[in-house]
Amino acid sequence: MTPSVPAPSATTPSAAGPADLLITGCTALVHDEHEEIAFVEDASIVVRGGVIEAVTREARLPDAALRIDARGQVAMPGLINCHTHTPMVALRGIAEDLPAEEWFNDFIWPIESNLTERDVELGARLACAEMIRGGVTCFADHYFSMDAVAAVVSESGLRAHLGEAFFSSQGAEGREKSLEFALRQRGGAGGRITTALAPHAPYTVNAADLAATAALAREHGLPVHLHAAESRGQTDTSLARYGRTPIEILQRAGLLDNEPGLLIAHGTGIIERDLPVLAGASGPVAVATAPRGYLKFAWGPTPVRALREIGVPVGLATDGAASNNSLDVWESMALTSLVQKSTEGDPRWLTSRQALHHATLQSARAVGLGERIGSLAPGRRADIVLVDLSGPHTQPVHDLAATLVHSARSGDVTTTIVDGRVLMRDRELLTLDLPATVAELGERLPSLVDRGHGRRIQEYDT
Amino acid sequence: MTPSVPAPSATTPSAAGPADLLITGCTALVHDEHEEIAFVEDASIVVRGGVIEAVTREARLPDAALRIDARGQVAMPGLINCHTHTPMVALRGIAEDLPAEEWFNDFIWPIESNLTERDVELGARLACAEMIRGGVTCFADHYFSMDAVAAVVSESGLRAHLGEAFFSSQGAEGREKSLEFALRQRGGAGGRITTALAPHAPYTVNAADLAATAALAREHGLPVHLHAAESRGQTDTSLARYGRTPIEILQRAGLLDNEPGLLIAHGTGIIERDLPVLAGASGPVAVATAPRGYLKFAWGPTPVRALREIGVPVGLATDGAASNNSLDVWESMALTSLVQKSTEGDPRWLTSRQALHHATLQSARAVGLGERIGSLAPGRRADIVLVDLSGPHTQPVHDLAATLVHSARSGDVTTTIVDGRVLMRDRELLTLDLPATVAELGERLPSLVDRGHGRRIQEYDT
């Protein structure tokens, strides 16, 4: 194990009666005052009222309603999936080895015109099961019928940042529905739900509607979550059609100055001239990167290094499982490191500690929760996962950060905790009925995947 | 599940008394007469004498000494790690985020000068545990103190293709030792061990020694396994220094005409002019690709598409865990698909079925066992893994090949079988003592990783 590092977050637990949860004997991943990753060996974590009260090496610990002996395990902040479409797990594997245009137009958008609220609910439940199993404690979801997703968030115990997607093709109604959802669900599930306005993308939502979205966001104090500059092809098309990049379109719409924040999914088409535009944003802007899908679509990578240089956080994501085939944020962490080294031509870049910083604080900032989650520190919400490193593939440990990023896998997560509540323990899901979900979804698949009707919810034309 | 496909390999089991092993109720991955991947649902696999006797949908099945109910699981050929250095798991994570030159010269080669036979044995045992857990049934190993590895192969029950590595810096002694090992261990471990001559690489073994190796290989009917054209930088250096690429150096040495075969590790530095050279080889030549490490070192990819066009099999590999951080061949399969799509700029290329072909028949050919393993077909050795697809991350299944390559993970392997012997069942290792291995290796690490002596076994100068 890495030599013990005194943790800046280690404080003495209070003596105010029994805690709700006490995790003992773990190696805790913490951040020092420079946000560098550090590890506290033989640590205990005290949780009270859904909040981390202490990360401590003290021997005197409070009683607790629940104690978890985590010897041999690493405790780390739960992973955050900064951009996904949970219900799309129902379409995992339905359209393989295709360019994005065919994937959208011939498969996904025809099939999505069949989606019912029940399909969305079942897909979201399956997705939440997958994410809890993979150590994800919070996800940003951008889809339709989001009330069904919100209900599953409530049931599953996960934390989520939800937005009801809309296209300009829906007229003003789509935007109004997105606003109504965001206002009504904000603060739901005991505060675990935050919300955003969710225009689909600059290529499906026109400039006037983006500007109207920015005005609504300002009026109601809502962040915005959308796709933009997904690929270099989109940027080229945008330049040819409008003389502006997608990022410049967001700027003109006022979305870069949204005080509650803007979350941009993908950004692999962000180019040099976009950097000063992003750097000049007066609101907090972040980018979510989902590297597996970019490789699969033969898109380039998100320009993580350039974004770092201008101070834009890059959170980790999986996109939907219909393109990415999984909601494995652990894999996104490893691939972000690997792909960035490769595309920058620099093996020293994007170290394991940098990857862990993306997975923790940068991802928390991306979903607007930079002060509440993303770190095992007193006062933060108790979103914690325990990772078993006793498997042969994670031994020996010369460099714990490298072990976590490059050797461990999502399947090594044994325990997933959100707001101090245990959602999975010893790999057993405690809040969701997986077999019933898989069975009912299986019955619904034939009508869900039917494309005989010839309808599409939208046309992909970047 | 994918619609049932009649399997060309499905034959009626013989009635010759009880079988040794009967696997029932699985979906079996088979190859049709064009080597296309097909799936037989509700299949049974009959094993007798270490050999697959039948893959069948018949209801009448023989009695068997051992029956495994594999309902809900996929049976597929065990994965083959076509190039690794098993003992290097002891150095997993010791030298991170470095270019290859520093990785070799400042860490790996100084540390390897400390290696004892006991370290090699413990590392190999830990590696075999990892590979059995990850569904690997055969590996090609290229290292030192290979008698210790051979002993672990015998103990573990795995199949292996072993070579004792040598440099020209060792003089003739290295080559003689490699030959002596290859002749003595050939056919060991009940036939599960095959052997190769193992010169390190054209940049560490000179032309005369490579030619002498080719002559020994011819004389003794031995294949050759080496590193070559590992990176584009090596090829450029070779051209500058000798006016020849590493592949052309192998040709001049006679190694491309070695009738028992030549296995080239990596080949990311294979360039256009090498292709006719490889195409003109009179012996069977194959390349092992280990894509994770190439990303990490910021090397380019193995030119899989160009090699396919000239009929050179490309097997999957992990290299050693000191650079790759894992021996996860499942990940190599997924990354080969993803990286190839990305670098070729073609999402239609390297489909999941192609990836499975690399993982099965091409990998078997790469290690010289193309007629014995790599397919669930009558007469092949019974090297079989069972994969559980009931996890949320592998549901639903619209395209079973995609589920296997892009959604499943090595941790979904529940059962690993070699020569009909069960090495892992329900994720429990049956042949190796993992905790004892980890404990003893841990005690030895401080002296193993000491670099204070200033020695190196070799200098990296491409």
DSSP letters of A42-66? EEEEEEETTEEEEEE--S----EEE
- Residue corresponding to tokens 């390897």: B112
B3 DSSP assignment: P
Is B348 in contact with A392 (Cβ distance < 8 A)? no
- Residue corresponding to tokens 């270099």: A232
Nearest chain B alpha carbon to A1: B442
pLDDT band at B243 (very low <50, low <70, confident <90, very high): very high
Task: Compute CA distances B407 → A111, A327, A407, B165, B334, whole Å.
Answer: 21, 9, 18, 36, 9
For range A23-30, the mean pLDDT: 98
Give residue B8's pLDDT.
Answer: 43
Nearest beta carbon to residue A292 from set B133, B134, B338:
B338
Is B411 in contact with A409 (Cβ distance < 8 A)? yes
pLDDT band at A7 (very low <50, low <70, confident <90, very high): very low
Contact A400, A373 (CB under 8 A): no
Distance CA B368, CA B302 (A): 20
Is residue B350 exposed (0-12), middle (13-18) or buried (19+ Cβ within 10 Å)?
buried
Chain A environment of B338 (Cβ under 8 Å): 292, 295-296
Nearest beta carbon to residue B396 from set A292, A410, A445:
A445
Distance CA A24, CA A29 (A): 14
Nearest beta carbon to residue A90 from set B391, B393, B396:
B396
Mutate to test the interface with B, among A2, A39, A94, A97 (most CBs of B within 10 A): A97
Contact B263, B223 (CB under 8 A): yes
Amino acid letter, residue B417? I
pLDDT band at B9 (very low <50, low <70, confident <90, very high): very low
Task: Compute CA distances A358 → A206, A265, A272, A312, whole Å.
Answer: 32, 15, 22, 11
**Tokens found for residue B206:** 């000179």
- Transcribe B303-332 into DSSP letters: -HHHHHHTT--EEE----HHHHS---HHHH
Is A338 in contact with B442 (Cβ distance < 8 A)? no
Distance CA A77, CA B301 (A): 34
Is A396 in contact with B338 (Cβ distance < 8 A)? no
B229 DSSP assignment: S
Is A99 in contact with B325 (Cβ distance < 8 A)? no
Cβ neighbours around B117 below 10 Å, total: 14
Is A93 in contact with B407 (Cβ distance < 8 A)? yes
Interface of A with B in 231-290 (CB under 8 A): none
**Tokens found for residue A284:** 């907090």
The verdict on A327 touching B (C-beta cutoff 8 Å) is yes
Give residue B55's pLDDT.
Answer: 98
Interface of B with A in 363-402 (CB under 8 A): 390-393, 395-399, 402
Which residues, 6+ apart, have CB-to-CB distance to A157 below 8 Å?
A132, A192, A418, A419, A421, A423, A431
Distance CA B400, CA B170 (A): 50
Instruction: Read off the pLDDT of residues A433-443 as tens digits, 9 standing for 90 and up.
Output: 999 999 999 99
For range A227-235, the mean pLDDT: 97
Radius of gyration of chain B (CA): 21
Which residues, 6+ apart, have CB-to-CB distance to A70 below 8 Å?
A23, A24, A25, A26, A386, A415
Nearest beta carbon to residue B130 from set A97, A130, A392:
A392
Contact B458, B167 (CB under 8 A): yes
Which architecture characterizes domain B19-77+379-429 according to CATH?
Roll (2.30)
Is A296 in contact with B395 (Cβ distance < 8 A)? no
pLDDT band at A10 (very low <50, low <70, confident <90, very high): very low
Chain B environment of A413 (Cβ under 8 Å): none
Nearest chain B alpha carbon to A301: B342
Chain A environment of B402 (Cβ under 8 Å): 93, 96, 325
Nearest beta carbon to residue A298 from set B294, B346, B395:
B346
Chain B environment of A327 (Cβ under 8 Å): 393
Is B341 in contact with A295 (Cβ distance < 8 A)? yes
- Is the pLDDT at A421 greater than 80? The verdict is yes
Backbone angles phi, psi at B223, to 5 degrees: -75, 165
Nearest beta carbon to residue A133 from set B99, B292, B392:
B392
- Residue corresponding to tokens 């991350």: B393
Give residue B5's pLDDT.
Answer: 41
- Is the pLDDT at A14 greater than 60? The verdict is no
**Tokens found for residue A368:** 């607007």
Give residue A437's pLDDT.
Answer: 98
CA of B120, closest CA in chain A: separation in Å?
Answer: 14
pLDDT band at B10 (very low <50, low <70, confident <90, very high): very low
Nearest chain A alpha carbon to B446: A398
Backbone angles phi, psi at A287, to 5 degrees: -120, 140
Instruction: Read off the pLDDT of residues B114-163 as tens digits, 9 standing for 90 and up.
Output: 999 999 999 999 999 999 999 999 999 999 999 999 999 999 999 999 99
Bridge partners for A127 per DSSP: none
Distance CA B81, CA B324 (A): 13
CATH superfamily of A79-367: Metal-dependent hydrolases (3.20.20.140)
Is A96 in contact with B344 (Cβ distance < 8 A)? no
Give residue A15's pLDDT.
Answer: 55
The verdict on A90 touching B (C-beta cutoff 8 Å) is yes
CB pairs under 8 A between A and B: 190
> SS3 for A223?
coil
Q: E-strand spans in B49-188?
A: 51-56, 64-69, 73-77, 79-84, 136-143, 159-166
CA of A344, closest CA in chain B: separation in Å?
Answer: 8
Distance CA A182, CA A222 (A): 8
The whole-chain average pLDDT of chain A stands at: 95
**Tokens found for residue B372:** 């014995």
- Residue corresponding to tokens 């690929």: A231
Q: Which residue, among B137, B25, B151, B5, has the nearest Cα to B87 in the 3D structure? A: B151
CA of B420, closest CA in chain A: separation in Å?
Answer: 23
**Tokens found for residue B28:** 């079996």
ipTM of the complex: 0.95
Distance CA A184, CA A174 (A): 15
pLDDT band at A403 (very low <50, low <70, confident <90, very high): very high
For range A201-225, the mean pLDDT: 98
For range B201-228, the mean pLDDT: 98
Share of chain B above pLDDT 90, in %: 92
- Is the pLDDT at A13 greater than 60? The verdict is no
Chain B environment of A411 (Cβ under 8 Å): 409, 411-412
For range A89-93, the mean pLDDT: 96
Distance CA A458, CA A241 (A): 19
Q: Which residue, among A67, A65, A43, A70, has the nearest Cα to A55 in the 3D structure? A: A43
Nearest beta carbon to residue B295 from set A89, A130, A339:
A339
What phi-psi label fits residue B420: left (phi over 0), alpha (psi between -120 and 50 degrees) or beta? left
The verdict on B92 touching A (C-beta cutoff 8 Å) is yes
Distance CA A392, CA B135 (A): 13
Nearest beta carbon to residue A130 from set B90, B393, B402:
B393
Cis, bond preceding B223 (omega within 30 deg of 0): no
Length of chain A: 462
Give residue A2's pLDDT.
Answer: 39
Distance CA B406, CA B333 (A): 9
Mutate to test the interface with B, among A398, A410, A429, A438 (most CBs of B within 10 A): A398
- Is the pLDDT at B264 greater than 80? The verdict is yes
The verdict on B352 touching A (C-beta cutoff 8 Å) is yes
Chain B environment of A344 (Cβ under 8 Å): 298
pLDDT band at B15 (very low <50, low <70, confident <90, very high): low
Amino acid letter, residue A269? G
Bridge partners for A140 per DSSP: A161
Give residue A162's pLDDT.
Answer: 98
Distance CA A384, CA A382 (A): 6
Domain ranges of chain B: 19-77+379-429, 79-367
Give residue A1's pLDDT.
Answer: 36
pLDDT band at B259 (very low <50, low <70, confident <90, very high): very high
Backbone angles phi, psi at A225, to 5 degrees: -130, 120
Give residue B1's pLDDT.
Answer: 36
Chain A environment of B298 (Cβ under 8 Å): 341-342, 344-347
- Is the pLDDT at A40 greater than 70? The verdict is yes
Is A352 in contact with B96 (Cβ distance < 8 A)? yes
The verdict on B99 touching A (C-beta cutoff 8 Å) is yes
Nearest beta carbon to residue A411 from set B321, B402, B411:
B411
- Is the pLDDT at A105 greater than 60? The verdict is yes
Backbone angles phi, psi at B390, to 5 degrees: -85, -10
Give the range among A137-146, A180-189, A191-200, B12-21 with minimum mean pLDDT.
B12-21
For range A140-167, the mean pLDDT: 98
Nearest beta carbon to residue B96 from set A133, A327, A402:
A402
Most distant CA pair in chain B, distance: 67
Helical pair B172-185 and B207-220, crossing angle rounded to 10 deg:
20
CA of A26, closest CA in chain B: separation in Å?
Answer: 19
Is B351 in contact with A97 (Cβ distance < 8 A)? yes
Give residue B13's pLDDT.
Answer: 52
Q: Which residue, among B435, B378, B299, B382, has the nearest Cα to B10 in the 3D structure? A: B378
Contact B319, B124 (CB under 8 A): no
